[in-house]
Structure 1
Amino acid sequence: MNRIPLPARVFAATAASAAAVAMLLSAPALAAVTAEEAARLKTTLTPLGAERGANKDGSIPAWDGGMTKAPAGFKAGDARPDPFPGEKPLYAISAKNMAQYEAKLSDGVKALMKKYPDFRIEVYPTHRTAAAPQWVYDNTFKNATRAKLVDNGHGTEGAYGGTPFPIPKDGYEVFQNHRLAWTGTYIQAPVRVWVVTADGKRAMASGGTQSFRKQFYDPEGSHEKFDGYYQLGKFAVSEPGSKTGEAILAHDNLNASNPRGLWQYLVGQRRVRKAPSVAYDTPDSVTSGIGLFDEAFNLFGPIDKHTLKLVGKRELYIPYNNNRAASAKVADLVTPGTLNPSLVRWELHRVWEVEATLAEGKRHVVPKRKYYIDEDSWQIILFDGWDAKGDLWRTNYTLTLLAPDIPALVGNMYWGGYDLQTGAYYLNMASNELPSQYKVVAPLPRSFFSPEELANEGAR
């Protein structure tokens, strides 16, 4: 499988049995790393914890700081251009030749190739463009020696303003890194959700404005002042007409033991109500039920119905630097069967692989998943899901938008999923053909994300 070994400290007890090692990898760790380990963030590792060097054959280059310069004349809200407009694919992989590249393909991608003879991935030169501001790097270095898991691995203490576990010991730490990945602080974007049925018909399921207040990354805040709510998010629906005025509001806490706030405004009821069902395997109404709520943004809400095992690190073809797809016309991008292969850019990157399996005594319609997390940005880029019979059922993706103006590699836009059994799929949080793209805005007050404001907006 071309796997790259986990850090040596995971296997320090060389005399341990294979079963003991497996237990170590799946159980949540509690301790932060040592100062000596953290020092690697300034030498062999990038400031966020990725391997700084190239791979053996150079197909994955060394990280040189990422891309941090906005295009000339760029204004907030502009569609960001393709950063590599002159590049051509190195090669394409389809059902005809996928055996040659099988070790670097996810199960879901291989299933799409088998299901759709015309589906292919076009592989471009790898560019490690992910970056963050220096203050995020500084906080990540501090977090490395002070952050720890709580709440049976589903919460974090001692972290602020940076990746909490840049040198992860287990899958729980990797997932917390994803939850707290840097994608900006105050963000808004007009978005639409596109669904495609098995017979190839495309429809807009929802449209509106997505807003984020990522207060874990408030540069004016601090570890001491932080109240635990790392992200406030609101999706206000403005189209189609049958859904205009609906809204979903989420207050996500760093620790699973603290209450997660979820509210919905439904026009027909003309009131705001708490929405505990917006979680786990409840069909996602925003995607007309094709996706599940815990698949939103590739990970949304608690995942305590599964246990997490850190399998290791591997090289994988993943969607990357997809600014061209983000600017394409909807009819050109969202095509029957799959997204248009000619518009989606794939690159070879190192990813962390985390396997989620159903915990004892729990129920979930997707009892097994495999997640692939980009080492440079700590965001889930691909994940696959199996049904109770053990059959591959779902494969999800994010196209990753490069935003050097922030700077960030954005994975919480342009994401979606394929139902491999029905043939339906969707693309969520897409700003194609809309007047603005993922946009840094002035600080959004907490009151903007209150249930009371949700009611006021619905009444207007």
Structure 2
Amino acid sequence: MKTRKLLCVTVMGSMLGLASSVALAKADAADVARLGQDLTPFGSEKAGNASGTIPAWTGGLTQAPAGFIPGKGYVDPYASDKPVYTITAANMAQYADQLTPGYKAMLQKFASYKMIVYPTHRPVGLPATEYEQIKKEAGTVALADNGAGMLNYDKTSVPFPVPKTAQELLYNHSLRYRSGGYHYFPTEMVVKPGGNFTVIHRDVTLAMASALGNPEPNRLYYYLSKVTGPDSVAGQQSLVYEPIDQVKEPRLAWQYNPGQRRVLRAPELAYDTVDGLSDGLRTLDMYDMFSGAPDRYDWQLLGKKEMIVPYDTYKLADRSLQYSDIVKPDHLNQDLIRYETHRVWVVQATLKPGARHIYAKRIFYIDEDSWAILAADLFDGRGELWRMQEAHGLQRYDVLSSIAISDVAYDLQARSYVVNGLENQEKQSSFGVHFTLQDFSPAALRRAGN
């Protein structure tokens, strides 16, 4: 296969060290004019690639396929597609330039691991009102001079449709359109060597601040989570106010302890604090592939590249599946995970001298269409690959939003993994839900615990 090289993007130093004259730069009028022309309304390249493995974007999947019944799960619009090829350890060298270090390591470590690659589709499509707002703010929003905040931001879901820096890409990921707010019932499973796992059940609500009528200043989203099972951990709750600029204002968090029946501030719920139910496999800033303050890292935009990533994972969302059908020893059931060739932005985060974090380097692969992080490689202090993550996204055609159904983090050294978000045996999620600020008050957290 012909080698594809990174599309060059020059980065002069780390994002957080840029001079304010650069950090405050806005998209110029020529870039804004490209939206809806050679760029999609949300900023990706509209054209396909030269080899034909990536098609042109033609509007996305904005109508539900035949047979879709709300509340019964998603019908796979691409169920008739046949695999193009399957990558295994035996042939991975042929596709090496399109594989992340994490995928190469998984293929080499586990004989049962494979990646089934299907024809590429570009289903991302947003409401027309989102397109209007993206274009309206594209020429006005700018990074603050610390690289961790935004000026002139109102409510666009893609503040930087023509990104020039790593930090702009992080904001696109964090703010990507997620139907305003939703109520869902994700699970979390720590899978031990050998395949044993216990299902943690949660009841979660999330609201983007831009969707509330009265958000507080400097707010990205509001998040409320309650553990509902098993009985040994049921009742634990967390409430998070996620700031836009987490250097100016740290994340605000509270926890409810059912044993003490008290709500306490929890400033430690950030950075590399370990999620207490993940058996040490997930840090809090691994949620949503990356979330939280960026200030402990130097950020570098390496460019855009065609890579093989998880995409259109409708098969994994099939509500007829049992969790034992999905969760297997060493890794998920790879027959259920669909991979496609897509253009992704490659962003590298390197731990600052003197800063503390268990990951010394992280590499993120951000989809050009959905702006979601689809894969990540996490390195330890020795420079060795420690963990890899992937997110299982799909276009939720009923609400015109690309929201992942799950994500997984593999610990390559411990041969364990944690999968988060699967809902196959849970209640149906509700999207486009309208919340108020009172729904996310510490008082609401206390009431929910009674």
Structure 1-normalised TM-score? Answer: 0.92
- The answer to whether residue 4 in structure 2 is matched with residue 2 in structure 1 is yes
The answer for the alignment partner of 2:174 in structure 1 is 179
Alignment match, 2:289: 298
Residue number in structure 2 paired with 1:235: 225
> Match of 1:440?
431
Matched, 1:248 2:238: yes
1:404 to 371, 377, 397: 397
Shift of 1:229: 1.3
1:23-422 residue pairs with structure 2 within 5 A? 23=13, 27-28=17-18, 29-72=23-66, 74=68, 76-150=70-144, 152-159=146-153, 160-204=155-199, 206-217=200-211, 227-256=217-246, 257-327=248-318, 328-411=321-404, 413-422=405-414
Q: Aligned pair in 2 of structure 1 residues 366, 313: CA closer, same or farther (>3 Å)?
A: same
- TM-align CA RMSD: 1.8
Q: Distance in 2 between matches of 1:190 and 1:361?
A: 39
- Aligned partner letter, 1:119: Y
SS for the counterpart of 1:287 is coil
User: Residues 419, 441 of structure 1: CA spacing in aligned structure 2 closer, same or farther, 3 A cutoff?
Assistant: same
Query: What CA deviation, in whole Å up to 9, does each residue of 1:125-164 have, x standing for no partner?
Result: 0000111111111111122211111152111222222300
Task: Say which SS state the counterpart of residue 202 (structure 2) adopts.
Answer: strand
What amino acid does structure 2 have at the position aligned with 1:422?
A
SS in 2 for 1:337: coil
Q: CA–CA distance in 1 between the matches of 2:381 and 2:209?
A: 38
CA contact (8 A) 2:181 2:211 kept: no
Q: Which amino acid aligns with 1:400?
A: G
Could you tell me which residue of structure 2 aligns to residue 14 of structure 1? none
**CA separation of 1:180/1:314 partners in 2, compared to 1, >3 Å: closer, same or farther?**
same
1: distance between equivalents of 2:381 and 2:257?
33
Q: Could you tell me which of 400, 408, 423 is aligned with 2:415?
A: 423
What do residues 288-342 of structure 1 show as CA deviations (whole Å, max 9, x unaligned)?
3211111011112112111110000001111101111022321111111101110
Tell me, in whole angstroms, the C-alpha distance in 1 between the residues paired with 2:65 and 2:237. 34
CA contact (8 A) 2:40 2:46 kept: yes
Instruction: Structure 1 unaligned segments of length 5 or more: list them.
Output: 11-20
Identity across the alignment (%) = 35
1:26–1:309 Cα contact (<8 Å) kept: no
Relative to structure 1, is the Cα distance of residues 139 and 27 closer, same or farther in structure 2, using a 3 angstrom cutoff?
farther
Q: CA deviation at 1:26?
A: 7.4
Q: Which amino acid aligns with 1:294?
A: D
Secondary structure (helix, strand or coil) at the match of 1:130 reads coil
Question: In 2, are the aligned partners of 1:27 and 1:170 still within 8 Å (CA)?
Answer: no
CA contact (8 A) 1:3 1:312 kept: no
Letter in 2 for 1:408: S
Superposition deviation, residue 181 in structure 1: 0.8
- Contact kept, 8 Å, 2:102 with 2:377, in 1: the verdict is yes
In 1, distance between residues paired with 2:303 and 2:297? 18
Structure 1 counterpart of 2:242, one-letter code: D
Contact 1:270/1:458, CA 8 A, preserved across alignment: yes
Q: Amino acid of the residue matched to residue 287 of structure 1? A: S
CA contact (8 A) 1:233 1:250 kept: yes
- How far apart in 1 are the matches of 2:384 and 2:6? 27
User: Counterpart in 2 of 1:16?
Assistant: none
Compute the displacement of 1:25 (Å): 6.9
Q: 1:162, 1:180 within 8 Å by CA — same for their partners in 2?
A: yes
Aligned counterparts of 1:457 and 1:440: Cα–Cα separation in 2: 21
Task: Kindly indicate whether the alpha-carbon contact (under 8 Å) linking 1:124 and 1:347 is maintained by their aligned counterparts in 2.
Answer: yes
> Residues of 2 paired with 1:249 and 1:229: CA distance?
14
Partner SS for 2:186: strand
CA shift digits 1:215-262 (9 cap, x unpaired) = 3245x78xxx87331211111111010111111111112122134221
Q: Which amino acid aligns with 2:72?
A: D
Contact 2:84 2:117 (8 Å CA) reproduced = yes
Instruction: For 1:102, give the aligned amino acid.
Output: A
State the alpha-carbon separation in 2 of the partners of residues 259 and 23 from structure 1.
Answer: 25
- Write the distance in 2 (CA, Å) between the matches of 1:165 and 1:433: 37
Aligned 1:4-23 pairs, distance under 5 A = 4-6=6-8, 22-23=12-13
Aligned-partner residue type, residue 54 of structure 2: I
Contact kept, 8 Å, 2:242 with 2:292, in 1: the verdict is: yes
Q: What SS class does the counterpart of residue 389 from structure 1 fall into?
A: coil
Aligned to 1:456: 447
Task: Report deviation, 1:423.
Answer: 0.6
| Secondary structure in 1 matching 2:44 | coil
- CA apart distance, 1:184: 1.2
Deviation at 1:410, TM superposition (A): 1.0
